[in-house]
């Protein structure tokens, strides 16, 4: 059965460009309820821990430098079929391929600086949410 929670981050580029409010509105207008929300700044080490699954990829250094380059918004979101529906809302990883009207089509500048993260499975949504939030911070 599809799960009802996913995890997202608004990445440093979109935060710097002033898109926090627009992106959160896009998310809640899309039918997602905010379960947990945090404005924080990842250390390089924390970014490496979060993206450990990509540690062998050629873009790992660039990705973790970028993700620790400025503050981010982290959030857990709730909706039926959350992981799949959120991936539809944000669009393809590379904004050049993202469907019109999606968050990445509107706010991303490149595949590396692609505005938002979205979990790719129910299992990773739980792992990623627990990476950033204690149970007492989920409502």
Q: Does 93 bind ligand CMP (CB under 6 A)?
A: yes
CA–CA separation, 34 vs 17, rounded Å? Answer: 22
Piece of the chain touching ligand CMP by CB under 6 A; list 16-24, 26-34, 70-78, 111-119: 111-119
2, 25, 39, 59: residue in contact with ligand CMP (rule CB under 6 A): 59
Strand arrangement, sheet containing 5-10:
33-40, 72-78, 5-10, 116-118
Asked if 41 is an active-site residue, the reply is no
**Cα–chain-centroid distance for residue 137?**
18
Which of 16, 123, 122, 32 is closest to 73 using CA atoms? 16
Piece of the chain touching ligand CMP by CB under 6 A; list 31-39, 56-64, 77-85, 123-131: 56-64
Piece of the chain touching ligand CMP by CB under 6 A; list 15-23, 36-44, 112-120, 128-136: 112-120
Name residues contacting ligand CMP, limited to 13-42 (CB under 6 A). none
**Alpha helix segments (H runs only) across the chain:** 12-16, 20-29, 44-50, 60-67, 82-90, 103-107, 122-132
CA–CA separation, 122 vs 1, rounded Å? Answer: 10
Q: Which of 26, 41, 54, 117 is catalytic?
A: 117
Residues near ligand CMP, by CB under 6 A: 54, 59, 62-63, 93, 111-112, 114, 117-118
Question: So which residues are the catalytic ones?
Answer: 117
């Amino acid at each position: 059965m599809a799960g009802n929670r996913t995890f997202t981050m608004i990445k440093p580029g979109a935060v710097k460009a002033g898109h926090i409010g627009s992106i959160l509105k896009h998310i809640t207008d899309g039918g997602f309820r905010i379960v947990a929300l945090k404005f924080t700044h990842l250390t390089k080490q924390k970014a490496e821990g979060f993206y450990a699954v990509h540690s062998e990829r050629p873009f790992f250094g660039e990705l973790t430098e970028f993700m620790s380059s400025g503050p981010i918004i982290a959030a857990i979101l709730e909706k039926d079929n959350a992981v799949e529906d959120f991936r539809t809302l944000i669009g393809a990883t590379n904004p050049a391929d993202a469907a019109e009207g999606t968050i990445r089509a509107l706010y991303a500048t490149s595949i590396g600086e692609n505005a938002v993260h979205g979990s790719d499975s129910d299992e990773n949504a739980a792992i990623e949410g627990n990476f950033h939030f204690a149970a007492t911070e989920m409502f």
